[in-house]
């Protein structure tokens, strides 16, 4: 299998939120987008799409990774209606070993804005589930994603990288605490009842805020969260009259454009008599127009601002990240050995068939002699020859699988093995369908 894992995309390090939001996909857009990608990118054999606040990445498999990357970039530009030149400088791409390493680091939260944050693993699992629904996952992506999940689990259990309360949501709460001396007499409104908004609400509730308002397009979800946290649910189509009461407004609504702009917000500021108002924009695309920051006593912070605050609190996690990187490298080698084994699968099958055929031929030549033996003796001969065959196969196949990939080329190794055992001639002489359909029940006995 001459297939290569590749990744192309942008993240919080390569592009500001203003660019990331232009390429972002909503959850309900992912599966249709993968269908369109497969139709337009003929070089891409398998594909998954990761779209979060901090990254938009296509993880794919292709025989020609360079061509597949180029086709994917053309697709992103056309599908998101963004000129390719607008994000050309922010794009990164990986292939082969580097792509696998990047995927594992993403899953282990080593490439996150907040190193060690747990949300990315759930987002990665969602991306895999969406790709499975779109039927764009094949053998290699299936293995790659599940290996990434394993890496994340090992990192979480084997290091302290997830300890502490450093996350974007805690950063938002900490930032609110810096703007106001106390939050106990303040009114907070959450726009959106998603996971990040819920985490923020829970942390704010522990600070004893005076009033918590929650509004969401899904009103039942807002009601349930408000009931649990002792807040008040507000219908999404009628939240604006409440803004004049709000000291801290946190936006986490899925929207393709800002839901609040300066024109409608100026009246809110006047009704508040210009008392300070703190806006935390956790949405990508952004919920609040960046021009709101120019209004008097309005303090607007977006997700990149929160990321900068988080960086100040990462000392311990950065030290634990070094241990996590070692786990990534170990699992990377395991995955690459499995991937290399795919190239040897046809060879292994041919060798097994060839050796088994030699045994059968010899047993056939001795048919007359065997017929003179007692049934128990014939069974012992059968077991003896099969045992010798299995031991021989075990040594041959173990040698192939344990070869040093840095010094031996897979194709060369396979060719030598084929010639030594005459497997190439067997494959030509016999019906290929017979060999392809050979029962593999003997695998457990020789590998």
Catalytic residues: 53
Within 13 Å, how many C-alpha atoms sit on residue 67's CB side? 10
Within 13 Å, how many C-alpha atoms sit on residue 315's CB side? 2
The candidate with the shortest Cα–Cα distance to 4, out of 93, 95, 69, 67, is: 95
Looking at the chain, the number of H-run helices and the number of E-run strands are: 19, 10
Question: DSSP H helical segments within 159-243, as ranges?
Answer: 168-179, 195-205, 219-229
Here the tokens at position 64 are 């020609």
CA distance 101 to 278: 39
CA-angle at 303, arms to 300 and 309, nearest 5°: 85
Helix pair 119-133, 30-40: axis angle to 10 deg: 60
Contact (Cβ atoms closer than 8 angstroms) between residue 187 and residue 211: yes
Sign of CA dihedral 374, 376, 381, 386: positive
The candidate with the shortest Cα–Cα distance to 393, out of 437, 445, 345, 339, is: 445
Contact (Cβ atoms closer than 8 angstroms) between residue 95 and residue 65: yes
The candidate with the shortest Cα–Cα distance to 108, out of 95, 99, 117, 96, is: 117
Give φ, ψ of 30 to 5 degrees: -65, -55
The candidate with the shortest Cα–Cα distance to 24, out of 283, 260, 236, is: 283
């Amino acid at each position: 299998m001459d297939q290569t894992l590749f990744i192309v995309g942008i993240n919080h390090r390569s592009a500001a939120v203003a660019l990331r939001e232009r390429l972002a996909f909503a959850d309900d857009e992912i599966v249709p987008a993968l269908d369109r990608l497969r139709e337009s990118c003929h070089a891409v054999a398998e594909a998954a799409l990761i779209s979060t606040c901090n990254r938009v990445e296509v993880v794919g498999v292709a025989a020609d990774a360079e061509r597949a990357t180029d086709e994917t970039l053309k697709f992103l530009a056309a599908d998101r209606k963004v000129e390719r030149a607008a994000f050309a400088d922010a794009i990164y791409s990986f292939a082969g070993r580097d792509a696998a390493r990047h995927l594992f680091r993403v899953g282990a939260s080593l490439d996150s804005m907040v190193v060690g944050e747990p949300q990315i693993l759930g987002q990665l699992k969602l991306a895999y589930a969406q790709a499975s629904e779109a039927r764009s996952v094949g053998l290699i992506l299936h293995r790659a994603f599940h290996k990434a999940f394993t890496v994340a689990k090992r990192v979480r259990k084997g290091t302290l990288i997830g300890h502490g309360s450093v996350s974007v949501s805690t950063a938002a709460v900490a930032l609110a605490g810096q703007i106001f001396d106390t939050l106990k007499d303040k009114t907070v409104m959450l726009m959106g009842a998603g996971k990040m908004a819920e985490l923020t609400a829970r942390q704010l509730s522990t600070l004893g805020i005076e009033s918590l308002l929650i509004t969401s397009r899904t009103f039942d979800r807002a009601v349930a969260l408000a009931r649990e946290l002792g807040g008040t649910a507000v219908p999404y189509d009628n939240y604006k009259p409440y803004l004049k009461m709000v000291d801290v407004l946190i936006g986490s609504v899925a929207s393709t454009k800002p839901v609040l702009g300066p024109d409608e917000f100026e009246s809110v500021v006047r009704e508040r008599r210009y008392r300070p108002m703190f806006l935390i924009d956790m949405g990508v695309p952004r919920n609040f127009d960046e021009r709101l920051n120019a209004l008097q006593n309005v303090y607007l912070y977006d997700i990149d601002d929160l990321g900068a605050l988080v960086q100040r609190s990462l000392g311990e996690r950065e030290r634990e990240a070094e241990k996590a990187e070692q786990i990534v490298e170990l699992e990377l080698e395991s995955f690459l050995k499995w991937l290399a084994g795919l190239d040897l699968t046809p060879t292994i099958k041919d060798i097994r068939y060839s050796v088994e055929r030699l045994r059968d031929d010899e047993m056939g030549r001795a048919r007359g002699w065997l017929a003179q033996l007692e049934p128990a003796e014939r069974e012992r001969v059968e077991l003896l020859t099969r045992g010798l065959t299995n031991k021989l196969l075990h040594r041959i196949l173990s040698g192939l699988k344990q070869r040093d990939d840095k010094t031996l080329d897979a194709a060369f190794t396979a060719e030598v093995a084929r010639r030594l055992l005459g497997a190439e001639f067997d494959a030509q002489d016999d019906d290929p369908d017979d060999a392809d359909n050979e029962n593999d029940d003997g695998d457990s006995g020789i590998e």
